[in-house]
Amino acid sequence: MDIYSKRRAQKIWSVLRFPLFLTGQRYISQAAAKIDVDFDYDGPLMKTEVPGPRSRCLLFVFSCKNAEAVHFFCNYEESRGNYLVDVDGNRMLDLYSQISSIPIGRRQLYQSFLFCPQASTFINRPALGILPPENFAERLKESLLSVAPKGLPQVITMSCGSCSNENAFKAIFMWYRNKERGHNNVTKEELESCMINQPPGCPDYAMLSFMGGFHGRTLGCLATTHSKAVHKLDIPSLDWPIAPFPRLKYPLEDFVKENQQEEARCLEEVEDLIVKYRKKKKIVAGIIIEPIQSEGGDNHASDDFFRKLRDIARKHGCAFLVDEVQTGGGCTGKFWAHEHWGLDDPADVVTFSKKMMTGGFFHKEEFRPNAPYRIFNTWLGDPSKNLMLAEVIKVIKREDLLNNATHAGKALLTGLLDLQARYPHLISRVRGRGTFCSFDTPNDATRNKLITIARNKGVVLGGCGDRSIRFRPTLIFKDHHAHLFLNIFSDILANFK
């Protein structure tokens, strides 16, 4: 923003006083007429470069907030379906959907909440753990419990993904310790030592994680996150074991044997680490893994790899925690990505957030805390998010959006493979499950340039890892959106210098 002098910004600021869209008031009055027809636009419509003058000016006056990551400012009233509209009136096909956190087209929820008979749920946020509203069990049943992974009948809600993983770790540590003490009573020494952060009350337990994984940014989560230095630099951490995640070679059918060996090597390392850490009196109580490492670069492993990892966890008495914060909610074609694996014995704990609108975790009965207030905080989530999730799930079922994700994902992946064949110097390692697709570019600079060009042609993309581009559309992304994108991107690649 250093290209703007303060005076110039003040001049531009005066422009901001006359909004391009007088939406706040207008939308409501048109809602009844519009709601059934206006779920999506028919294509991108670009008026300026992005960020446009209005966005840049807003950024300049936005000095009170950690704003360096801001891409541009948005007009959410005018955004709809698969399209994001910015404050300069640019309408873009959105394949990143708020870092993968939008489940369905937003207009669809308007229908249910615009003249909201549930106003109280939005306004009156209760301390759910102690004073739940009457309909809370029912609300859980029609939202989270209606999509619970098989074998995990229990759920606890949290406000965000990091808190979900933090509390899942805690449930695992408690479970492990209870096992260890043989359900004997807690000793006085444990009760006293825990108050000053010392063992045996605070035992030297660890979660095993994988290089390239991302599980959140609070201190406990961060000790299991290993995707980018910017997340971790300068923050004290814990000496917890970190295993290698398979680095598969593509196309998969050409490297069957190499990839099997690579996965076997990683699994062996997991077992070695568990043993090695136990020898130095640090107990691996659980293993955490993403079905597809997302932030770390959309790294996949085979279903067989995950089945074997689950077996290793059981063999060594460790809990198996599947982090579905980014993969959950249907985008892989199943509601939970780990359902593709065909596990005999379900995961022990599954965490979620983002598209699920509320954070939280599912768990097996035996991971239920053995006393009140052990897994607890003031809010424990937010019932208004459960209310919205219930609506989202209704739409997913009614419109068969899981099958849509499989179908549209196939259209996208097929198109990407075609582009890879035509532009192998720009696109490699095309991969994906459902619409959860991605590809690699030669390097960071090329990747970022492609994202910027695409944005100015009306397509919002997201990066991950050090050179990948990831697709994270909503569940209403259809075949024709895939083709729309592929046409635009094909032109971009043809003209890329």
Please identify every residue annotated as catalytic. 214, 323, 354, 378
To a second copy, the closest distance from the beta carbon of 378 in angstroms equals: 5
Q: Is residue 308 involved in binding a second copy (CB under 8 A)?
A: no
CA–CA separation, 444 vs 457, rounded Å?
20
Measured CA angle at 363 (ends 194, 213), to 5 deg: 80
By CB under 8 A, residue 1 contacts a second copy:
no
User: Which residues, including other chains, have CB under 8 Å from residue 148's CB and lie 6 or more apart?
Assistant: 155, 362
Q: How many residues bind a second copy (CB under 8 A)?
A: 129
Instruction: Kindly tell me which of 341 and 477 has the beta carbon lying closer to a second copy.
Output: 477
CB of 322 to a second copy, least distance (A): 19
Contact 329, 354 (CB under 8 A): yes
Q: In Å, how far are 63, 72, 218, 251, 446 from 68, measured between CA atoms?
A: 10, 11, 20, 37, 21
Among residue numbers 44 through 83, which ones bind a second copy (CB under 8 A)?
Answer: 54, 58, 61-62, 64-66, 68-77, 79
| Contact mark string toward a second copy, 179..208, x via CB under 8 A | -------x---xxx-xxxxx--xxxxxx--
Q: Mark the segment that binds a second copy (CB under 8 A) among 158-166, 342-350, 440-448, 488-496.
A: 158-166
Whole-number Å distance between alpha carbons of 411 and 415 = 6
Of 149, 213, 216, 465, the one binding a second copy (CB under 8 A) is 216
Span 219-258, contacts to a second copy by CB under 8 A: 219-221, 223, 226, 229-240, 242
| Bridge partners for 293 per DSSP | 299
Shortest distance, position 364 Cβ to a second copy, whole Å: 13
Question: Taking the complex as a whole, how short is the minimal distance between the CB of residue 42 and a second copy, in angstroms?
Answer: 21
Q: What is the DSSP letter of 140?
A: H
Please give the Cα distance from 462 to 120 (Å, whole number).
36
Judge whether 175 and 367 are in contact, CB under 8 Å: yes
169 binds a second copy, rule: CB under 8 A? yes
Spatial CA neighbour of 51 closest among 4, 11, 8, 17: 4
Q: Are the C-beta atoms of 321 and 351 separated by less than 8 Å?
A: yes
Tokens of 192: 């006293």
Site for a second copy in 385-404 (CB under 8 A): 388
Q: How far is the CB of 274 from a second copy (least distance, A)?
A: 16
Q: Among 270-278, 314-322, 378-386, 423-431, which window interacts with a second copy (CB under 8 A)?
A: 378-386
Q: Which amino acid is at 221?
A: C
Q: Could you tell me the smallest distance in angstroms from the CB atom of residue 317 to a second copy?
A: 16
Round to whole Å and give the CA distance between 98 and 76: 12
Q: What residues from 14 to 33 belong to the interface with a second copy (CB under 8 A)? A: 19, 24-25, 27-28
Contact 390, 157 (CB under 8 A): no
Q: Is residue 210 at the binding interface for a second copy, with CB under 8 A as the rule?
A: no
What's the min distance (Å) between Cβ of 96 and a second copy? 9
State which of positions 90-109 bind a second copy (CB under 8 A).
98-101, 106, 109
Interaction between residue 84 and a second copy (CB under 8 A): yes
Under the criterion CB under 8 A, does residue 316 sit at the interface with a second copy?
no
- Residue 456 found at the interface with a second copy (CB under 8 A): no
Pick 212 or 415: Cβ nearer a second copy: 212
Q: Which residues contact 358 (CB under 8 A, 6 or more apart)?
A: 144, 157, 158, 159, 381, 382, 385, 386, 389
The DSSP call for residue 124 is: -
**For residues 102 and 435, what is the distance between their CA atoms, to the nearest angstrom?**
14
Question: Is 261 strand, coil or helix?
Answer: helix
Least Å from the CB of residue 479 to a second copy: 25
Applying CB under 8 A, among 4, 48, 129, 316 the residue interacting with a second copy is 129
Is residue 12 part of the contact set for a second copy (CB under 8 A)?
Answer: no
Question: Binding to a second copy by residue 475, rule CB under 8 A?
Answer: no
- Pick the closer one to a second copy by CB: 238 or 486: 238
Site for a second copy in 342-361 (CB under 8 A): 353-354, 357
- Closest to a second copy by CB, 28 or 445: 28
The total number of residues written for the chain in this structure: 497
Q: Which of 90, 159, 351, 474 binds a second copy (CB under 8 A)?
A: 159
User: Is the distance from CB of 31 to CB of 39 less than 8 angstroms?
Assistant: no
CB-nearer residue toward a second copy: 111 or 261:
111
Stretch near a second copy under the rule CB under 8 A, chosen from 40-48, 119-127, 311-319, 335-343? 119-127
Residue with tokens 């060996």: 261
Residue 319 interacts with a second copy (CB under 8 A)?
no
- Which residues lie across from 287 on neighbouring strands? 208, 320
Q: How far is the CB of 271 from a second copy (least distance, A)?
A: 19
Helix axes 383-398, 401-422, angle to 10 degrees: 80
Tokens matching residue 297: 């670069």
